Amino acid sequence: MSSPGTASLFEASTHRGALPSAIAAIWPGAQVTGRALTVQSPPADNLWLHHAIYRAQPGDVLVVQCSGHHEAGYWGEIMTVAAQVRGLAGLVIDGGVRDRDAIAALRFPVFARTLCIRGTGKSPTARGAIGGPVTIGAVTVETGDLIVADADGVIALRPDEAEATLARARQRDAREQAILTRLRAGETTLAIYDLPQAGQQGPRE
């Protein structure tokens, strides 16, 4: 069964796990659901990402924190093909990528903070990590978290909460489908949600 959308999952997760809205799909229609493998990358260096591709298991989503340095193209066509050969499901990166058109043609789901043509180094002495917690915005992502990403955004769900959150999100989607049916039959959102009159709070002093 396909995963509910990220908006439904966020509402069902008691409003936790949403990554910053700046991290978005780099091509229309990209979506991914999979297990996180986290990467802490040194700034402007992608050596740890190369190693992460070969540390990952099929179906994993790389979740990359770039030490706050966004203006570099940490990922491109070459790494996308390498990841596809390994069976990776996608990439979520709090940093820049390049070769958007090539990645789109390959249909590999990439969610990034920005596009950037600047290259990166591959220093053997640059400090990074694979598999440890990474913090993106206000969210700490750990290896094994469930990552869901689509046109609306990216959410990370803890493994012990994922199943219940998915169930609540599917119930929410079913309720919304019923509301859509009522709207098409002529009802209004004001009546369906029993919304109060606007502007009735009284004069302000």
pLDDT at 201 (0 to 100): 60
pLDDT band at 15 (very low <50, low <70, confident <90, very high): confident
Question: Has residue 108 been placed in a domain?
Answer: yes
pLDDT at 14 (0 to 100): 82
Please give the residue range of the domain that contains residue 88: 17-157
Write out pLDDT tens, residues 153-179. 999 999 999 999 999 999 999 999 999
Provide, rounded to the nearest whole percent, the portion of the chain with pLDDT above 70.
96
pLDDT at 3 (0 to 100): 80
pLDDT at 16 (0 to 100): 87
* Residues 41-79: b if buried by 16+ CB within 10 A, e if exposed: bbbbbbbbbeebbeebeeebbbbbbbbebbebbbbbbeb
3-state secondary structure of 92: strand
Q: What is the mean pLDDT of the chain?
A: 95
Question: Has residue 179 been placed in a domain?
Answer: no
| CATH number of the domain bearing residue 113 | 3.50.30.40
Question: Has residue 200 been placed in a domain?
Answer: no
pLDDT at 143 (0 to 100): 99
Q: What is the mean pLDDT of residues 85-90?
A: 99
Question: Has residue 64 been placed in a domain?
Answer: yes
Question: Has residue 38 been placed in a domain?
Answer: yes
Question: For the whole model, what pTM was predicted?
Answer: 0.92
How many folded domains does the chain comprise?
Answer: 1
- Residue, of 194 and 200, whose pLDDT is higher: 194
- State the DSSP string of 137-184: TTEEE-TT-EEEEETTEEEEE-HHHHHHHHHHHHHHHHHHHHHHHHHH
Query: For residues 154 and 18, is the Cβ–Cβ distance under 8 A?
Result: yes
Candidate from 23-32, 41-50, 191-200 with smallest mean pLDDT: 191-200
Question: Has residue 185 been placed in a domain?
Answer: no
The pLDDT of residue 203 is above 80 = no
Best CA proximity match to 83, nearest among 61, 63, 105: 61
Q: CA-CA distances (angstroms) from residue 142 to 37, 81, 150, 180?
A: 8, 25, 20, 37
Spatial distance between the Cα atoms of 106 and 49, rounded to a whole number of angstroms: 19
pLDDT band at 185 (very low <50, low <70, confident <90, very high): very high
pLDDT band at 200 (very low <50, low <70, confident <90, very high): low
Give backbone dihedrals phi and psi of 102, rounded to 5 degrees, phi first: -65, -40
Q: Which residues contact residue 56 at a Cβ distance below 8 angstroms, ignoring those fewer than 6 apart? A: 37, 62, 83, 86, 88
